[in-house]
Amino acid sequence: MHRIAYLLPEGFQVMALATQAVFELANLMLDQPFYAVETYAMGGMARASAGLVLPATPLSARSKADTWLVAGNLTPQEPAAAPELIRLLSTVAVSARRMAGLCTGAFLLADAGLLDGRRATTHWYWAEALQQRHPQARIESDRIYIADGTIWTSAGMTAEIDLALALVEQDLGAKVARSVAHRLVMHQRRSGGQSQHSEMLRLAPRSDRIQLALEHARRNLSRPLSVEALAEAANLSPRQFSRVFTAETGQSPAKAVEGLRLEAARLMLESSRHPLEVVAQETGFRDRRHMREAFLRGFGMPPQAIRRGARAQP
């Protein structure tokens, strides 16, 4: 049985505990207990930032687990973690198969010396602080999660679920991970290379009709997406749709669709080996040249440079 151990520091953020549902449902999919989940804390008591107090197994040098998931808190730089906690974290890491920092839990891994020379991520708000505190680590502020060897780190909140699903996929395969995501009613299971910043979230329309139009666009990027087609999805006239869309998102429909296409194309470039012509076709650009022009406007660099940067990372 694979032992999953949660380390909860003082003031931990309760979202970390939501990831336990991933391992619980994986057991359910298998009809047998593959994972055993345990919770550890200094002194045997864990207090969350929201005030919740949980009993836990006292952390010691003899604590053992296959995978440790280290929770973070809302203000990771103050106060600093207790030296004894960092010492014990370094000790238990020696015998573990994997160590994972959930959100700002990456600060604890870094304090324990586990991120030295490694790629890692954390919540975008705290990425610069983590890099300054640990210049020997390579912090990437725009990733959902990163696995560098046996050390895993994730962005904040919901990205912790994506990391937990990736752990399940590594252990049990993609089919089980997809089934768990489906049971969790996840709209989308994100890869580690995906950006922390979502174009859909940035547009943030207020009305359901504009949201429906954007969802229609996201699902049909490879097709022509005229104002008339989007207006039909929103059940509005083209003129009324353009006016309402711009008022709610601050962008024209054409500009918003280009942003969605850029986001999808960048992900394909970073996570696949498809030729540029295929990436352009799948994400709705007229051709490779059209996609290049959009990348220069949106990212300030051509698609080839983004792909080279992704491949250059270990």
- Cβ contact 70:39 at 8 Å: no
CATH number of residue 179's parent domain = 3.40.50.880
Q: What is the pLDDT of residues 205-236, one digit of tens each?
A: 888 899 899 989 989 999 999 999 999 999 99
Q: What mean pLDDT value characterizes the chain? A: 90
Residues 50, 142: one domain? Answer: yes
Residues 111, 250: one domain? Answer: no
103 in helix, strand or coil?
coil
Residues 249, 165: one domain? Answer: no
Would residue 191 count as lying in a domain?
A: no
Q: Residues 28-54: what's their mean pLDDT?
A: 93
Residues 138, 223: one domain? Answer: no
Would residue 194 count as lying in a domain?
A: no
CA distance 159 to 169: 15
Residues 121, 252: one domain? Answer: no
pTM score of the predicted model: 0.69
Handedness of CA 127, 132, 133, 139 (dihedral sign): positive
Structural domain ending residue among the three candidates 183, 207, 223: 183
Residues 171, 206: one domain? Answer: no
Would residue 36 count as lying in a domain?
A: yes
Residues 13, 79: one domain? Answer: yes
Q: What is the pLDDT of residues 249-258, one digit of tens each?
A: 998 999 999 9
Residues 114, 219: one domain? Answer: no
Count of the separate structural domains present in the chain = 2
- Cβ contact 245:252 at 8 Å: yes
Q: What is the pLDDT of residues 296-313, one digit of tens each?
A: 988 888 999 888 876 655
Quick one: pLDDT band at residue 32, thresholds 50, 70, 90?
Answer: confident
Residues 112, 211: one domain? Answer: no
Quick one: pLDDT band at residue 314, thresholds 50, 70, 90?
Answer: very low
Query: Within 13 Å, how many C-alpha atoms sit on residue 173's CB side?
Result: 4
Q: Residues 133-154: what's their mean pLDDT?
A: 92
Would residue 188 count as lying in a domain?
A: no
Q: Which domain holds residue 20?
A: 2-183
